[in-house]
Amino acid sequence: MHFQRISMFILRSIAISLMLLTILPSPAQTSKKEAAEKLRLKQLDDSIPLFRGFSVKADVVGLIQKAVSDYGQYEAGLKLNLKDKYFPVIELGLGQTNHQDITTNTSYKTSAPYGKIGVDFNILKNKHDIYRFYVGFRYAFTSFKFDLDHPDVKDPVWGGTAPFSGQNISANYHWGELVAGIDAKIVGPLHLGWSARYKRRIAHNDGTMGNVWYVPGFGKQGGTRLGGTFDVIIDI
């Protein structure tokens, strides 16, 4: 009797195991499905032409910044689409400020263009989705002139005062940006996109008056190295 119970238990265990084997996918089946999906994506990728068009974009953050503070920029860009993977991009803008510091009685004014060039990489597994998550980089440059109006400075050694103001002072900036962002198709050719950027100065010439207060496209001297954009994008 005891032996029969053990035998029945073993038979039931074997039956349940066989049922599970038929229900659950085997590692070989899972591997075949993954291979089939990879093959499908590869065939889709091979069918996509190299040049997929281009898009134009305009940044909204700079406009808002200009509206609520005494500095900001207007920025637009052109981005090529290569196989939905690689996106060479050029961005052009106009940075402006008319800053008044009532504490030091100092004013700083400039308005100058800047340019950026770089590339974004779509890192999503499905490159041809309506959403894109990308990382990339930019090289940026601006050459500008600024006006600085400051009260005369007292000479601590010889006494008297010396002027500390200037007009059309020349300066230039080179910097790099690391970029991470996402864009999503809204309707038709319209996309909206967000990006976060980390800026790092490469080389600079502040001119003859010391550190400049604001650099077109880069931002305030001594401010945060982090920035961002909110882009309205049209695919063409």
Structural domain boundaries in the chain: 1-47, 49-235
Mean pLDDT of 87-100: 96
Q: What gap in Å lies between CA 236 and CA 233, rounded to an integer?
A: 10
Confidence of residue 49 (pLDDT cuts 50, 70, 90): confident
Please, which pLDDT band fits residue 104 given cuts at 50, 70 and 90? confident
Q: At CB < 8 A and 24+ separation, what contacts does 122-129 make?
A: 122/84, 122/85, 122/86, 122/87, 125/41, 126/41, 127/45, 127/83, 127/84, 127/85, 128/44, 128/45, 128/48, 128/84
Name the pLDDT band for 149 (thresholds 50, 70, 90).
confident
Of 53-62, 77-86, 101-110, 128-137, the one with minimum mean pLDDT is 101-110
Q: What mean pLDDT is predicted for residues 190-209?
A: 93
Asked if residue 18 has pLDDT above 50, the reply is no
CA distances to 25, 43, 77, 193, 227 from 175, rounded to whole Å, are 53, 40, 18, 23, 13
Mean of the pLDDT values across residues 228-233?
96
Question: CATH second-level architecture of 49-235?
Answer: Beta Barrel (2.40)
Q: Decide if 75 contacts 50 (C-beta within 8 A).
A: no
* Whole-number average pLDDT of the chain: 84
Average pLDDT over residues 186-209: 93
**In the predicted model, is pLDDT for residue 36 greater than 70?**
no
- CA atoms within 13 A of residue 111's CA, in its CB half-sphere: 4
For residue 188, is pLDDT > 80?
Answer: yes
pTM comes to 0.77
Q: What is the pLDDT of residue 209?
A: 75
**More confident call, 43 vs 169:** 169
Q: Note the pLDDT of residue 30.
A: 61
